[in-house]
Amino acid sequence: MSFPGGKAGSGVYQQIINQIPPHDVYVEPFLGDGAVMRHKKPAWETYLYDIDPAVVLRFPADAWPHCKCVAQNALVVLPQHLSNPFAFIYCDPPYPRSSRSCARPLYRFEMTDDQHSTLLDLVRSQKAMVAISSYANPLYDETLADWRRVEFQTVNRRGNRATEVLWMNYPEPTALHDYTYLGNTFRERERLSRKRKRWVARLERMPILERLMLSGAIAEYEARRRCAPPDQAEKGL
């Protein structure tokens, strides 16, 4: 089922997952097609919301472990998650009408500019890690000017290239929740995927004590890197 603004297109959900830090709780208050949630590694707890009951009915909660899926307004449920520093919240609301090339409504439940302002005010005053998708627009650009921002190319419903923007309230991750899609392009992701599979195969053939030795060496390296001065840590010293 195609969903307006969905992130299932090649290279879209991968780019977003590559910006998600480790977390215990995953929250998606504008579920839509749920592409990011469906492709990322599950968290210990998952909370999915959408104001459209028809969307929620497509996602049986028992399909994912420790998952709650509810038809509810994002602006109502977000406050209960924003104070959790171990939560990651991915917001993919209907984009502001002024930022879209198509003037007609695309969703059963659109958002007004005032509702977008309320959303941004909510996510700015919080402890949780938050990322929010949209096209570039004055409201988001100004309100989230102090957030980290990345851009990547995608294709809209008309087949035209468009620039997606992801705003984040946390620094560039030094670790990821899921490394499955590491890489900026399809070729790079394929290369890294093959490399990972080769290493897994080598580890499976390795005697258990050698495997544990290697695991200990990696842990020792990471501990030294964390204790190193910032300029040396960046170089992997």
The string of DSSP letters for 170-223 reads SPPPSS-S--TT-SSSHHHHHHHHHHHHHHHHHHHHS-HHHHHHHHHHHHHHHH
Residues 147 and 167 sit within 8 Å (Cβ to Cβ): yes
Length of the chain: 237
What are the boundaries of each domain within the chain?
A: 12-168, 186-234
How many C-beta neighbours within 10 Å does residue 94 have? Answer: 21
Question: Exposed, middle or buried: residue 58 (CB in 10 Å: 0-12, 13-18, 19+)?
Answer: middle
Domain 12-168: give its CATH superfamily.
Vaccinia Virus protein VP39 (3.40.50.150)
Tens place of pLDDT per residue across the chain (237 aa) = 456 556 766 678 999 999 999 999 999 999 988 899 999 999 999 999 999 998 898 887 677 778 999 999 999 999 999 999 999 999 999 888 777 666 666 767 888 889 999 999 999 877 899 999 998 999 999 999 999 999 988 776 666 778 889 999 999 998 899 988 888 888 888 888 888 889 888 889 989 998 888 888 888 887 887 776 655 555 554
Q: What are phi and psi of 194, to 5 degrees?
A: -65, -40
The closest of 87, 90, 137 to 117, measured between CA atoms, is 137
pTM (whole model) above 0.85 = no
For residues 159 and 55, give the distance between their C-alpha atoms in angstroms, rounded to a whole number.
24
